[in-house]
A and B are shown apart, each in its own frame.
Chain A
Amino acid sequence: MAPLVPDIISNEFNFIIAILIGIAFGYILEQAGFSSSKKLVGLFYGYDFTVLRVFFTAGITAMFGVVVLGHFGLLDISIIYINPTYLWSAIVGGVIMGLGFVIGGFCPGTSVCAAAIGKIDAMIFIVGSIIGVFVFSELYPILEGLYKSEYWGNVRIFEVIGISQGLFSFLMILMAVFAFVVTTIIEKKVNKKDNPDLKPTGRYVTFAAITIIIGLFSFALPERQKVLIEKSNNPDLLATADYKIMTADELAYRLMYDMNSFRIYDLRSKELFNQFSLPNSMNISLDYIFSKDASKLFTESYKMQIFVDETEEGARRGAFLAAEMGYENIYVLKGGLNEFRSEILEFKKPNRELTLIEKDNYRFREIAQKEIKILIEKAKTQQKLEAPKTKRVLGGC
């Protein structure tokens, strides 16, 4: 599951990747004409909307791609960098940048691109930018209030507006197409001539149509995570997945003598988990099973991955999801924690004639009861196991 850094691509190699990505970035910007300030500011005076076309096409292409990759569970959206939202600094900072744009004729990325092909005005712009950054850093104590006011967190725009992600991306695409058409008309009026390069030729229309059809198809297919969660609600399907059952006795034995052979994933609420939990257990949610962190945890060494919940049914849901995600060595605690309590922790010998096998078994349970109660008490004084949670990638400018 992506992002590939830092597990598949190391942090050090990432710097090489950065250079390669930069080369492509610079090449595309220069080829698009972003190395000329005259061309860049054209959109503010109506004579050249290249920036708008390139920018919006790039934005919707990437946005669409992120949605699709997330949809099929190929990219973990919860750990990629989402620019944090600080309302006032975003607005004021943006307006100042807009002012800088019409005065200076560049933005930071394009100025570097233009400087690379010898534009002296771009080099001066870079010097100016560095001065601007320095001035901000020095004045930061005065600006800190504004800089940190109205913090909304790493929220995404469709959550703020309250619509679905798919609908929002669809609206963005419509807006972009609308902007392309309108600006082409404006450009034609301002320049008093047609730009033959931008006529919607058959090729473009076909290309766009194919993309839209693929897009619609992919959204018609439901999200993988949703499908699996839905399936896990169906008791008949639960039994079909590839996981095994572990009895309370077996778990009790392993708790006492073979703690390294397994790990317990407790699917109950945080409150219940904090009140009572078995040693060597981690509190996780069903959603966690789909994350990139889980993929590291569940494939770690040869451990048995035991899912528990109050009931067996609850544990089966987690085990089903994990097995369907392709993880191996998945176990379910038979009868859930309820049975573990009645058979081990609160076990009482029945008042009747016992068979020989029962006698052996019950003797084991009485020993286990004592030992595991001690283990539970001991575990309380120690730090609880935490399910690893990767922090968001540090990104942005």
Chain B
Amino acid sequence: MEKSKYMNPYLAGFFLGLLLLLTIYITGRGLGASGAFKSMVVYAVNTLSPEHTAAKPYYIEYLSEHEGNPLKNWLIFELIGVVIGAFISGLISNRLEFKLEFPEKITKRVRIISALIGGALFGFGAQLGRGCTSGAALSGMAVMSAGGIITMLAIFGGAYMFAYFFRKLWI
């Protein structure tokens, strides 16, 4: 079967905006993603070595702000939903497929390494910037947070700044 076309981007954006608005209306907070990664890291480290989390200030701060199990976190549940929702969408539109996607010009190895390094940088930056494209940039824009909008400009500005140097990875 043929893959379906993507949704019109403006329509998708409109729906996403309504969803974000609904989220703020119901919960008082926005959407997010990287925070769930943080919960997982805190949980893993805390389980493997509680002495370690008790000694390092970043974990101490996190655990003092969030009661209970780090995995019992709004963003973890939201991210479980994302997996389900994206899977349903892929199923409906015939896009489910195990595949390492990369342009013809680069090798599989380069893509694997670039995905890993890119992910690490994003994960690191999202901690420093207190949120990623969803939690800081998009949700921050919706509530007109100065910090969120500055982070958004820095993400896109930074990406354009470095895009030239990594063009071989994509075009």
Contact = CB atoms under 8 A, between A and B. Distances in A.
Given A92-B128, A104-B114, A129-B119, A26 B86 contact: yes
Given A23-B82, A97-B122, A143-B128, A57 B141 contact: no
Contacts of A393: 27-29
A160 B116 CA distance: 37
A58 B142 CA distance: 8
B150 A397 contact: no
B9 A53 contact: yes
Interface in B140-169: 140-163, 166-167, 169
A30 B85 contact: yes
Grouping DSSP codes into helix (H, G, I), strand (E, B) and loop, the A interface class, with mixed when no group exceeds half, is helix
Contact of B126 (A93, A106, A134, A147): A93
Nearest to A17: B26
Contacts of B6: 31-33, 39, 50
Contact of A397 (B34, B65, B141): B34
Contacts of B112: 121, 124
Contact-size category for A: 35 or more
B147 A86 contact: yes
A143 to B, nearest CB: 7
A4 B25 contact: yes
B159 A102 contact: yes
B12 A147 contact: no
A85 B130 CA distance: 9
B123 A132 contact: yes
Contacts of A30: 85-86, 89-90, 93, 95
Contacts of A170: none
Interface in A105-147: 105-122, 124-138, 140-141, 143-144, 146-147
Grouping DSSP codes into helix (H, G, I), strand (E, B) and loop, the B interface class, with mixed when no group exceeds half, is helix
Given A133-B127, A134-B41, A22 B77 contact: yes
Contact-size category for B: 35 or more
Given A5-B26, A124-B116, A393-B28, A91 B146 contact: no
Contacts of B123: 100, 108, 128-133, 135-136
Contacts of A144: 57
A97 B158 contact: yes
Nearest to B32: A397
B86 A55 contact: no
A89 B160 CA distance: 19
Interface of A: 2-5, 9, 14-33, 35-39, 41, 44-45, 47, 50, 53-63, 65-66, 69, 75, 77, 79-87, 89-122, 124-138, 140-141, 143-144, 146-147, 152, 154-160, 165, 168-169, 172, 180, 197-198, 204, 392-397
Given A81-B29, A85-B147, A137-B59, 8 more contacts: A44-B170, A53-B9, A55-B13, A79-B28, A108-B126, A112-B86, A120-B101, A394-B29
Interface of B: 6-10, 12-35, 37-38, 40-42, 45, 56-59, 65-66, 72, 74-75, 77-90, 93, 95-103, 111-112, 114-163, 166-167, 169-171
